[in-house]
Amino acid sequence: MPVNCRETPVNVNSLNFWIDHLQAGGRYSFTRGEAFNASGLSPDALSKSLQRLASKNRVAKVKENFYAIVPLEYLSAGAPPAVWFADELMRSMRLPYYVGLLSAAALHGASHHQPQEFQIVTAASQRALQVGRQRIRFFVRRGVAGTPVTHIKTPTGTVRVSTPEATALDLVRFAKESGYFDNIVTVLSELAERINPEELGRAAERNAAMPTVQRLGYLLDLAGAGAAAAPLAEIVRRRRPRTVSLRSDRPAKTDERNARWALLVNEHVGAEV
């Protein structure tokens, strides 16, 4: 369990000792304010100490006021995995969040292609962060707080992750950032066994625009997950939406139409091997 900083002795003069104390308790991140309160160092001395520790890869600076502790096994990577400190990072930023897109899919077991960045969905625009060798990228979406999430255990606690159903919808919403449709179909073919069709239907009714529902249904069919797609087909049948292009960023001129999903199929999609 993470160490409660209020229980950490405030008369510790060694920043190294305090960081060791946090790590021994299973915590791998801290804020600058916590370090200042616990170490007894002046602001200038604290800055120099943190810089020295960062140069030795003992800590990694994530943001101006947030640091990750680097255990020995991640020394060459320059930081522990982002999932270890994502929850505390977002709480320090005071923003609602969930781990989403390909990162969420991987945490749910769909890891055919490991994501090249750690993807977090939140409510306000944030610059991407480079922490050691890993990149943390933020995506803005309305209704973050209302998105269905599950809490997944990590070596340092838990992290908020979009449910398999919400993840599937986000993969289509952020198609470019998810590697476009070939990659999405591959991920969906692995994620499908975790998807509850009824939950997917409810999530689509509450939180998805119709084009997202149409495209996701089509891609689930291609992924061999027709059972998961059935509630989406019912939404399309009931609402009778206008026909949209599968790829909105490409010309819609095509004779190939999919009546089930009211789609102009303007791209050939196949699962990646």
The last residue of one of the domains, among 80, 101, 130, is: 80
Burial of residue 163 (CB within 10 Å: 0-12, 13-18, 19+) is: buried
Task: Give the per-residue pLDDT at 165.
Answer: 98
Q: How many domains does the chain fold into?
A: 2
Strand order in the sheet with 263-264: 244-245, 263-264, 257-258
pTM: 0.89
Are 62 and 195 members of one domain? no
The last residue of one of the domains, among 80, 100, 121, is: 80
Residues in the chain where the model's pLDDT stays below 50? 1-13, 273
What pLDDT digit, counting tens, does each position of 79-130 carry?
Answer: 999 999 999 999 999 999 999 999 999 999 997 667 789 999 999 999 999 9
Burial of residue 88 (CB within 10 Å: 0-12, 13-18, 19+) is: buried
Task: Give the per-residue pLDDT at 6.
Answer: 43
| Whole-number Å distance between alpha carbons of 106 and 169 | 15
Q: Which of 189, 269, 257, 267 is nearest to 229 (CA)?
A: 189
The continuous run of DSSP H or E covering 231 comes out as helix 226-239
Task: Give the per-residue pLDDT at 23.
Answer: 94
Task: Give the per-residue pLDDT at 272.
Answer: 63
Range of the domain at 46: 5-80
| Whole-number Å distance between alpha carbons of 229 and 220 | 6
Are 67 and 101 members of one domain? no
Task: Give the per-residue pLDDT at 39.
Answer: 85
What pLDDT digit, counting tens, does each position of 39-48 carry?
Answer: 888 899 999 9
